[in-house]
Structure 1
C-alpha cells in the first residue's frame, strides 16, 4: 500500500522537476555556441593530427576545416 495520494503527487512532482532539469540542461548545451565551436575545432584538430601521417587525408581534412570555418564565419553575420 502506498502513502496515499499526497505521496504519489510528491513523486510525480519530483519526476517532473527532474525532467525539467534535464530539458533545461540540454537546451543550455545547445545554446552554448562557443563551447560547441571549441569542441568542433578540437575534433577537427584530432582528425588533422591523425591525417598528417597520410598526405592525401591531410589535404582532405584541411579542406573540411576550411569549409567548416567558412560556414561558421558566415553564420556569425
Structure 2
C-alpha cells in the first residue's frame, strides 16, 4: 500500500485493515485445505461414490423404461399373433388343405420373436 492509497479517515483505515485480515484469513484457510491430502482424498472418494450412485440410479431407471417398452411391444406382438391365428383358423376351417399357410408361419415367427425379446430383456 503506498502513501497515496492510505485513507485519511482512521475509521476507514480500520475497516480496510479488517477487510484485509479477513481476506488473508480466507486465503490461509484455502491454502491449508489444499495441503490436507487426506481430506482431499476423502472428498474425492466421496464425490466418486456419489457419482457412482447417480449413475446406478440412472441405469436402473433406464432398465425400468426398457422393460416397460419391451412388455408393451410383447403385448402388441401377442395381440397381432392372436389375431393372425384367428384369421388362419378361419381359413383352415374353410379350406383344410391350407393348414400350413404363410400366415400361420408368420404368426409362429412373431410369437417366437416376442418370446426371445421378453426372455432377453428379463435377463438384462
TM-score, with length taken from structure 2:
0.36
Q: CA deviation at 1:41?
A: 0.8
Q: Given the alignment of the two structures, is residue 44 of structure 1 paired with residue 48 of structure 2, yes or no?
A: yes
Query: 1:46-65 residue pairs with structure 2 within 5 A?
Result: 46-52=50-56, 54=59
Where has structure 1 moved over 4 Å in runs of 4 or more? none
SS across alignment from 1:16: helix
Question: Superposition RMSD on alpha carbons, in Å?
Answer: 2.1
Q: 1:8 to 1:49 in 2, by over 3 A?
A: closer
Higher relative contact order (CA 8 A, sep 6+): 2
What residue ranges of structure 1 are gaps of 5+ in the alignment? 55-77
For residues 49 and 43 of structure 1, the distance between their equivalents in structure 2, rounded to whole angstroms, comes to 10
SS across alignment from 1:21: helix
Q: CA deviation at 1:52?
A: 4.2
Q: Given the alignment of the two structures, is residue 19 of structure 1 paired with residue 23 of structure 2, yes or no?
A: yes
Q: CA deviation at 1:25?
A: 1.0
Q: CA deviation at 1:28?
A: 1.0
Q: 1:45 to 1:9 in 2, by over 3 A?
A: same
Per-residue Cα deviation, 1:40-64 (whole angstroms, up to 9, x for no partner): 111112223344464xxxxxxxxxx
For residues 15 and 55 of structure 2, the distance between their equivalents in structure 1, rounded to whole angstroms, comes to 52
